[in-house]
Structure 1
Amino acid sequence: MNLRNYHPGDARRIDELAVSAFSQFRDAYTDWPVFSAKISTMSDLSETGEIIVAELAGDIVGAVAYLGPFKQKAPFFRPEWPVMRMLVVAPAARGHGVGRALAEECLARARRDGARSFALHTSELMKVALPMYQRMDFTWLAAAPDIHGVSYGIYLKELDKAHA
């Protein structure tokens, strides 16, 4: 697997991947058409952050947006916290460490940026992602606003400067 920075030519594939990755949860969201329309513009996050792309055998199989300290982000995140948004993995590529590699790259970028903490928001609905984050030492901090009827929480990880 290869991780690389996003290129504008990746937009269509990244946007399709976001909808594909979340489609397993379509029945949990009270308004899937509105929610899927929002996530189908994942590539727009490249305007305020860094999108990291995972490739396997030349195909884009995952992506995540890294928003560094003091970059535009949801108001429930503290401005100095770097965050990751929209970690998505193609259904066929799951179980190969793609999500973990993308998350670790976000943490590496946070350390590069001198951050002390790193935040994300996720839901208990995410039966694979949430346990992965917990194994990576993210801990629940507070409730985040629901998204179309799905409860979300804010999770925080203190960064170990020794790995910088």
Structure 2
Amino acid sequence: MDLIIRRAHEADLDPAGEVTVEAFVGDGHTNPAADYVQLLRDARRRAAEAELLVAVDPADLSQGPSGRVLGCVTFAVGGQPWADIATPEEGEIRMLAAAASARGRGVGEALVRACVARSRELGLAGMAFSTRPAMTAAHRIYERVGFRRTPERDWYARPEVELLVYTMQF
């Protein structure tokens, strides 16, 4: 599949927010009534306070001159507001999402690989990020790319929200 991975443009922000909500709520990882849904939808804030990368299909120009948003991911460096678990020497993936219509087409993996490339470009020592135990499709992507489970860094965002940590050292 032809994909372009790039920083989000203004026209990508609303579609990126909707793709993120679709993935997290639609897959049952987030309650649709949770406050977190507003954070998922707010791609504008993520683009302003971190790096928002999008996967677009250049063949489908129906959504604008840049192509339809098929997925997105928020990338942050440890110590920045959007980083939960990464140290200042690590990059972190947040809110990786692929549109339901694009699943199985390599969107998630391409976005993860772009975050690895961005971490290396910034001269970071590696990456660390959190994921929910039930997000097994994402776990397979992370492991295929070369991330390893790091259980000693697992944590709870809230008492009922367990988060597993994956890391990669360069």
TM-score range, shorter chain: 0.7 to 0.9
Conservation of the 8 A alpha-carbon contact between 1:30 and 1:148: no
2:53 corresponds in structure 1 to: 52
In the superposition, the TM-score normalised over structure 2's length comes to 0.82
Q: CA deviation at 1:69?
A: 5.1
Conservation of the 8 A alpha-carbon contact between 1:69 and 1:113: no
Residue 41 of structure 1 aligns to which amino acid in structure 2?
A: D
2:147 corresponds in structure 1 to: 138
2:20 corresponds in structure 1 to: 18
| Aligned counterparts of 1:54 and 1:13: Cα–Cα separation in 2 | 11
Q: Say yes or no: does 1:89 pair with 2:98.
A: yes
Q: 1:13 to 1:143 in 2, by over 3 A?
A: same
Q: 1:100 to 1:75 in 2, by over 3 A?
A: closer
Unpaired segments ≥5 residues, structure 1? 160-164
Q: CA deviation at 1:31?
A: 7.1
Q: How many residues align?
A: 158
Percent identity between matched residues is 27
| Aligned counterparts of 1:70 and 1:143: Cα–Cα separation in 2 | 18
Equivalent residue runs for 1:37-116 within 5 Å: 37-56=38-57, 57=60, 58-68=67-77, 70-116=79-125
Aligned-residue CA RMSD (Å)? 2.1
Q: 1:75 to 1:86 in 2, by over 3 A?
A: closer
Return the match for 1:2 from 4, 14, 17.
Answer: 4
In the superposition, the TM-score normalised over structure 1's length comes to 0.85
Q: 1:114 to 1:106 in 2, by over 3 A?
A: same
Q: 1:116 to 1:98 in 2, by over 3 A?
A: same
| Aligned counterparts of 2:160 and 2:31: Cα–Cα separation in 1 | 6
1:157 corresponds in structure 2 to: 168
Unpaired segments ≥5 residues, structure 2? 61-66
Of structures 1 and 2, the one with the larger relative CO (CA 8 A, separation 6+) is 1
Q: CA deviation at 1:154?
A: 1.7
| Aligned counterparts of 1:157 and 1:96: Cα–Cα separation in 2 | 24
